[in-house]
Chains A and B, each alone.
Chain A
């Protein structure tokens, strides 16, 4: 199946822990993103990588660190987790330029910090 897949789907962890979320796409896209969706469903971009290079780095705590080993993968590592980090994190990918310019989203990782 061609898709954007992220793991794990659910993540429950204690405050202060370090965790990672992995994302992989097999669509041949060259740009990948991390979005955070809060409890009110607002989608906020966190990072964007194009061909392994960071191109968007919104104001997020430096406890969040993205890593792109190749253009098909973009992982998100979070240090010293806080209660406010609880949200759904979406990975997405796109091909720029592209006639559709659309994103393909993964199915999300629901992170709960207790």
Chain B
């Protein structure tokens, strides 16, 4: 079964807007939650990651919000740019061992 559920499947956002992608998990043993960004023809690249001892992590325009009690985490992209258009994957792992990926969100930022 899908260990990490991701939504929406696709997202269209106006330039300058906020992109929000959500993920949910069941296994409370997960202790590391990264987000990966994948451009066409490239491999996924680590974008930002969070551990469950903090509720938010921000790096530039990218923010992860983490709700441990709800077992949910989300990626917020502020001031979205056309260059952010890519597929985004959330993931979860236990101590860096096997990563379970979400099903991906295709983000399109229109000028």
Contact = CB atoms under 8 A, between A and B. Distances in A.
Contacts of B46: 100, 102-104
Interface of B: 32, 34, 36, 38, 41-46, 49, 87, 89, 93, 95-99, 101, 103-104, 106
B103 A103 contact: no
Q: Secondary structure at chain A's binding surface: helix, strand, loop or mixed?
A: loop
Interface string A90-114: 1010101110111111111000000
Interface of A: 4, 40-43, 45, 48, 56, 90, 92, 94, 96-98, 100-108
A101 B48 CA distance: 11
Nearest to B38: A41
Contacts of B104: 40-43
